[in-house]
Structure formats: C-alpha cells, structure tokens
Chains A and B, each alone.
Chain A
Amino acid sequence: MSVEFMFIGKRTPRKDAEAKVTGMLKYTYDLEVPGMLIGRIVRSPYAFADIRRIDVSEAVKMGAIVVTPSDIPQKPYNPRLVSINEVTFKDTYILTYKPRYLGEPVAAVAASSEELAQKAAECVKIEFEKIYKPILDPLEAMKPESPRIHEKIMKGDKWIEVENNIAARLDYDEGDVNRGFEEADVIVERTFKTGKRYHMQLEPKAVLVVLEPGGKLTIYTTTQTIHNTRILISQLFDIPESRINVVRVPIGGSFGSSIQTNYLVPIAVALALKAKKPVKIAYTREEDILDHSNFVFHFKIKIGAKKNGVFAAAEFINILDVGAHQVQPYPLLGTSLGWFISMYKWKNIRYRGIAVYTNKVPGCALRGYGAPEVQWAVETLVDEIAEKLGIDPIDLRLKNYVGKGEIFWGQGPTVKSIIKSDGVPELLLKGKEIIRWSERGHPSEKKGRFRRGIGVGRGFHTSGAGGPISGEVIDYTGCILKLNEDGTLDYITALQDHGGGTLDAHVKIIAEELGIPPELVNIATASTETTPYDVCTHASRGTYVGGECARRAAQIVKQKILEAAIRIIGRVVNPEALRIGYDKELKQAVVYVEGTDIKLTLAEIARTSWQRNWGTIGAFVSYRATSAPPSFTVYYVEVEVDTWTGKVKPIRVVAGADVGTPINPDMVEGQLHGGFVMAWGMAFTENTAYDPLTGEIMGRGLITDYKIPTAADVPTPEEFTVIIAKTYEPTGPFGAKGLGEAAMNPAVAAILNAVYNAIGIRFYELPVTPDKIIEALKEKGELEW
C-alpha cells in the first residue's frame, strides 16, 4: 500500500534530543532532593544459606536507619505484574533470612551520605545458621536428592509445594508427533545451551522515594511500568494506590530489565517509611549485575521433514534455568512455545517446558523474551535440514514459514491472532540479491587463514500481547490528549521511551491524524496519578498499541474540533463537509470546506473555545488491542573467521524489517543496528560465569569480564544495509507494527549460520568464544598446530 503521509515516514529529530546532547536530561540516577538519605543494600555473601541473626547494633549506633527482614511484612511477591494473579508465582521477599543467591538483599541501611551508608552497611553482621553448597545446574537441581531451594511458594493466592526445584511447567501437544516423525524422510535433533547474559543497560538501576507532606509517597525509579510499580508497592505495604504516585523518569536503556519492579524499590520504600525522610538507592554496576540477568536456556529440539521440504513434526524440550527467584518464567515457557510454533508450520508438535530454580541471579526478560534463543536454535536446524535435503535454505524457509492468513501465537497459548501483513518473501528475496547469496560458496571449498561465509536468519517478534479474548497476560494502555488554548496539544501517556523513540512516534501519529505539525504536540510529563493504566512498555508494543491508542484519541479530538468549528462558522449546513488538514503555507492545522473560502486555523478554534467558555476539547482513551501482529525481520550476514585466532569479524550486514509503515526510518534503522550488535555480543562474548564452588559471579561482576561490543567490533556503516518491506498492517496505527525486539531476534542465527558457511562448523553452545572456535577447528583437524 503506497500512501503519502505528511509526517509519518519522515526523519524528524527527537523531542528530547537537545536535552540529551546538552547533558540536561535527568535520569533517576541524577535526581536529588534536599534532606535525602542514601540507601545501601546489605547482600548475602553466600549463594544458598539460612541466616540465624542479623546484628545491626553498630549501624544503628552510627545513626543509620536500618531495616531487616523482621521489620518488613513477610509477604511473598513477584516483582512482575504483567501476568494475571492466578498464574503469578510469588517466592520473593523484600528482605529475607533465606538468601538463595549470592548478592540477594538481606538488610538495608540509609544514612546521610554515600560514605556513611557504605560504612553502616559494612558493619552489619550476619550470623549464618546453615550454608549449603550452591546448585548451579538445573539438571542437578531437579534430582530428588538435591536440597530444596524453595519449599513453599504462592501461586496467585494459594500456597503450593515446590517439588524437585521445579518452578513451573508447561506442556503442549498438537497432532501426532510420533507419526509425524515416522513419516519424515530426514530428522535432525540437537541440544542447545546459552550463556547467562546480562542486559548491560548503561544506566544502573536507581530509585528515589519521597514522603510528601500528608504522607503520600512519590516514587521515581528506573522502570518500564509506572503503574505496575505503584500497584506492587500498594500491595506490599498495604497503602492505597491513591496515596502513591510513581513518576515517569527518562531511563538509560532497559532491554527488559525493568519490566519488573526492581528489588531496590520496595527496599527504598521500607527505608523511607522508617526514616520518614526521602531515600535514594542507586546501584553500582556490580550490584546491577547481581540484581538481574537473563535466563539460561537449555533446548533439545528435534525436527522432521519430508523429501519435498515440507516439515512433518517437531519436538521441543525446554529446560529453563530460572535463577533463585521467579520473575515470571512461567509466561516465558509459554512465549518460547509461541515463538517456536509461529516460526514454521510443523504440523505435529510436542512441547515440554520446565522452569527450574538454581542459586543464581534471578533471570528476567532480555529483549526478545526467549525469541533470540529459540530463533537461533530453529534457524540453525532449518539450515541443517536444508543441507540434508539439498534444498536452498531460503526456499525451505519460504515453503514452511507461518505467514499471511495464518494463526500467530505471539505471546503464548492465550494470545493468538491472524497475520494480516507479511513482508517475509520481499525481505528474503531482496536481501538475497543484495548480499549476493548465490556466491556464498560451500564451507568445504574454503581454505586459508581468513574464511568468509554468508548466513541467513529469519524471525519476528510480536507487537504487544493483545487479543480478542482476555487470557493470562494483561495488556492494555491508555492516554489523554487535550487541546490547549493556543491550538497546541498535550499528549499524556504512561508509556516509557527506553530510547527507541516510541513517544515521538505517537506524536507523529497524532500529527498525521490531525494535520497538525509534530512540533505543536507536547509529550507531557507523566505519573500514575495523571495517566490511565498502561501495563508496561515491553513486548514491542509501544508503537503498535500505544500509537493506536494515541491515534484514537486524536480521532476523538478531531471530532470535537470539527464540532467547535461548526459553531464558529455557522453557515455550514452539513458537518460532513468539514475537513481538517495540514496547511503547508500557514504551517498549521486548518479546518476548511472544499470549494469555499472557509478556513479556520486550529489556533483560532482553540482560542475561541476558550474565550467563549465552550470547555476543554480532549479525549481520554483506554485501549486494548485485539491483535498482536508479528513484525518480521530477516538478517543476511557475511562474516570473516580468522582460523588462526578464532576471532570473527562482521563484513556485511543486510537487515530487513517488516514493520508495516515505518513511522520514523531513523529509529527503524537504529533498532536494527542496535539489535544486530546486541546479537553479536550474544553470539561471541556475553556470559556471566559462575564459580562452581561459591556461586559467585567470576570477575566479581565488574564489567571488565562482561564484554559487549564496542564501535571497533561493528561493520563499517557503508556495509550495513537496511531494507524496509513495503507492507501495511491494517490493525496498526497508519499501518505500523513494532520492532524493538524483532530487530535482534534472528540476528544470532544469521551470524552463526554465516560462521558455518565459513568454516563448516556449527555451534550449539553460546557464547562462541575464540577458544571454542579454535577447539572446534582442532577437532576437525584444521589447526596447524
């Protein structure tokens, strides 16, 4: 669909750009209020222990405010409220006497300076009742003789027993898998394992809690959801929501690490309530690495295909290493299944998903929520099948992928929709030409020190978790749009911009709907008390769900503007004759009647409504999307493997995205660049390694040993091509879909498929560090030494 938009699709500067380049923008980390105390968390030095006593006498003597588990209501909770209560598993306590991972908060202090807080934290003495050997392997954890990391947890409002350290399960069957495999002509079965990645968002987690006069709480924190933060604190401390206000603050990146309310928020609230003073806690990077990281995924996947390339059956065993506490691995079992099922038409499926506790830092969603891992595994296997069958890998994909008209399972079994826009063939075929796929050669032909290879990866992500029926996931949003007295607009929403420019996208959508230049639409400050509920800015729903909500608000406002216009104009007999649009000369929105000289600027209408006491023109919208369409992405990557050192270099990248209508091409490209680079880190360097004896993160969690790519690691800009498919999503605002996670998901597969094409070796364990490549080449007999 080729439409000419006035503002959408144009490259426009971000509204917060100036604040960011001048260093004026304040993040939570930068906030200060007079009289505030600095809070520090006392963390367990053992990964699996029971505490007998915490002696805080010295800290108290110093004048510090101290809280221990005895000071806090011992209510188990789950920091992530996106799932409905019935399937929310609660095993976390604000502070605990039973730490289950090294670094778990057991006490907290607050004092008037960082120095004093540090000192106070250090003189808190912990006496241990029992120290256990940490369990770091989920298979170990599941053995009946292993000690139980948790004994009883809550699911919803019920207590349940935990058996064999299993946190949650999900099984699914479709068709007859055994028969499917019998009918298959070729079967491939592989085991995959990932490392434990860490988000490495540049801003470490922080919170500032202020007690207002009158006792209301104001909370500023690094979060993707101000509303869920408020609800959680309300539930934990039995404070009515009307007495808590969570303010949206710019955030220095997130990638899923703040979908849940971070542990430091309730701790800071507890300190503030006790101290009756504002309390700020800001993590060091070490603490941030101890606060959350990704899950570890263990997959065993078996795929069967017929000679003609049609898939016949698939079996997917998914063992998820949760870490010490649940931040909702249960929905992850569901989305992993959903991503898997929505990749290709398997025909017959068996899925067994088990989430297991270990004594590691709790896992939480990391950009893609299982999709990068699942799509890496699937795309590797699809390449293997293609090779076995002698079919071109691209043709095999085109033959089997789940596309237009088919059911898409986005966020798991309770979130299904029909795919209405699909740019996969366009992206696969166009990208194929640009990368010169036909020239990629075969690994057996490649010799010498430097070997190049080209690989492809195809994937997608959902745009939110909407659907016609309410399932296990809460997903709706809301916004307020109001016309100011001079014709400008205030747009108020609880959605957060992690950096991808989602709020700027909404502004353009509003501008397009009303014909008003985007400069005149203000992104208002937001807090829980001034915005309708939004579940969370995650699942790539910002543009698709938030943007559509904004568009509907703009539609309502448009209607009211036209009604006001009628009152002013008087002579127009039929309101349908009124048009609203952008006047290029006046650089404003105008209401006009075709064929006449009637023309009113929005500014005039606004001013008149004000002066004549007609009331405020505005809209209050709460919106639930009834669909969650996939955004498809395709990566073609050329790499060069140095077979002497095991280091890999990116040579060329073609990143294709089907986002429906791109609202801001700059941001689309930016997401693809960022997604690719994140995938590069996932493939080659990123892992938090645990000391097997102590359960401590090796390298002390200092990022010297958590390497993410730098500018020196990326391809040169000229070699990174972005292609955007010409599709239109009918259910999205002006045809748009999300991108944030799709931008990364299939890239790892493309990168490692390229490595295979270069050196003929596949890797099933991440990260593929240089020594692993050398080891593999040695086994293949291709090393010179």
Chain B
Amino acid sequence: MKVKFILNGKPVELDVDPRETLIDTLRLRLKVKSVKRGCERGECGSCTVLINGNPVISCILLTIQINGAEITTVEGLVGDILLEKLAKNFIDNGAIQCGFCTPGILLTAYAGIKQGKIKKSEDVKEYVNNLCRCTGYVKIIEAIAKTADEVWGHER
C-alpha cells in the first residue's frame, strides 16, 4: 500500500506492507534508529515519535494510519532551539544514564513544552509517563522543568 508522509522535514513515499507498524518502517526501512523498541504493548514509551507535533506510540501504530502526516524524531530536531535547550539541560543535570529511554522522553518533553502543556515540575509527572529504569526520574523531571521554566517562566 502506498503511503506518503514527511519525515523530519523530508518527504517520503513508500510502498509498505499494510501490516507494517510505524516503528518497523522507521527502524528497518528508513534506518531511523533513535526510535527504540522496548516492549510490544505500548507500555514503555521508548518508541515515541511525534506525529503532527503530538507524541504517539509507534510500535502499535500501522504505517498506513499516518498517511499524509508529519513525523518527527530526535534526528530531525538537531538544531532546533527548544530541543537544544532540553538536551543541554539533560546533559548538564546528569539526566542520562543508559540512554535507551532518552530519545522518547526528549520528544515527549519537547512536545509538552511546545504545546504549553508542560510549564512546571508537576506537569512533567502528568505528561511524561515514559518508563526509565536507571535514573529514578528525578533528574529528568528537573531538566524538563528547568527547560519549561526557561520557555514559559516569563508568564509568572
């Protein structure tokens, strides 16, 4: 089945098996490896991608469902000011350990801050539910809250 979509700003046209999940299209066909496979039930969040700016679980989404959409992964946000701010705060705060959950969490936090859903620390716990086994989340929450404050802090 033919699908057309925009991946990280570039148009993509593919003929995919309709049973193909988005994560497989991204990882196996398009070699986008930042999208990680951590479970097959949509429980862990490691496979999060942004579709039209919203974070979505890609391991239980079929590629035919995203025809015409704009897909963003961390590879596509290199140079983006908000992502750079987020990444810097993650790095400076020591919020990265094994790194497997990092791309998914960055995308979720990015979308949350951009949409104004994440403006302070409490919002992080509400909107970022990706699983992390290493960090205990504390430094991740701090890094995201700091970034959110840098973006939205003037409102207070």
Contacts and interface: CB of A to CB of B under 8 A. Distances in A.
Provide the main secondary structure of the chain B interface. loop
A24 B87 CA distance: 14
B137 interface: yes
Nearest to A712: B125
B41 A13 contact: no
A638 interface: no
A16 interface: yes
A204 B37 contact: yes
A20 B74 CA distance: 10
B34 A703 contact: no
A714 B99 contact: no
A558 interface: no
A200 B125 CA distance: 21
A202 B94 contact: no
Nearest to B19: A115
B96 A704 contact: no
A674 interface: yes
A714 B139 CA distance: 11
A527 to B, nearest CB: 20
A13 B92 contact: yes
B32 to A, nearest CB: 8
A500 B145 CA distance: 23
Contacts of B98: 201-203, 250-253, 498-499
B58 to A, nearest CB: 13
B121 A202 contact: no
Contact of A22 (B34, B122, B134): B34
A253 B129 contact: no
A417 B92 CA distance: 37
Nearest to A27: B100
A194 to B, nearest CB: 19
A22 B75 contact: yes
B97 A501 contact: yes
Contact of B133 (A32, A200, A501, A720): A200
Contacts of A499: 97-99, 134
Nearest to B20: A115
Interface string A1-20: 00000000001011011111
Contacts of B126: 712
A708 B130 CA distance: 11
Nearest to B77: A22
B69 interface: no
Interface stretch (A49-57, A93-101, A445-453, A675-683): A675-683
Interface in A270-292: 282, 284-286
A710 B74 contact: no
A670 interface: yes
Contacts of A255: 133
Interface string B24-56: 100100011111111111011010000000000
Contacts of B134: 202, 253, 498-500, 670, 674
Nearest to B86: A21
A29 interface: yes
Interface in A652-670: 664, 666-667, 669-670
B91 interface: yes
Given A14-B91, A673-B135, A702-B41, A25 B141 contact: no
A18 B92 CA distance: 11
Given A20-B99, A23-B33, A711-B140, A202 B93 contact: no
B22 interface: no
Contacts of A674: 97, 133-136
A519 B90 CA distance: 19
A499 B132 CA distance: 12
B148 interface: no
A285 B91 contact: no
A702 to B, nearest CB: 5
Contacts of A672: 136
Interface in A95-119: 114
A30 B133 contact: no
Provide the main secondary structure of the chain A interface. loop
A675 B136 contact: yes
A455 to B, nearest CB: 18
Nearest to B98: A499
A678 B106 CA distance: 22
B6 interface: no
Nearest to A20: B99
B43 A202 contact: no
A717 interface: yes
Contact of A712 (B40, B74, B129): B129
A670 B129 contact: no
A285 B133 contact: no
Contacts of B94: 11, 14, 664, 666-667, 669-670
A716 interface: yes
B136 A202 contact: no
A11 B73 CA distance: 29
B96 A21 contact: yes
Contacts of B93: 666
A677 B75 CA distance: 30
A714 B92 contact: no
A399 interface: no
A30 to B, nearest CB: 4
A567 interface: no
A26 interface: yes
Contacts of B34: 22-24
A251 B95 CA distance: 17
Contacts of A676: 136
A656 to B, nearest CB: 16
A21 B138 contact: no
21 contacts: A14-B96, A21-B106, A22-B78, A23-B75, A25-B99, A30-B33, A200-B131, A202-B44, A203-B36, A203-B100, A253-B100, A285-B38, A670-B135, A672-B136, A673-B136, A677-B137, A703-B44, A704-B43, A708-B133, A715-B138, A716-B141
**Which A-B residue pairs are the 8 nearest by beta carbons?**
A23-B34, A666-B94, A499-B98, A673-B136, A252-B100, A499-B97, A20-B99, A677-B136
Given A202-B101, A499-B99, A709-B137, 5 more contacts: A19-B99, A202-B98, A253-B98, A255-B133, A285-B41
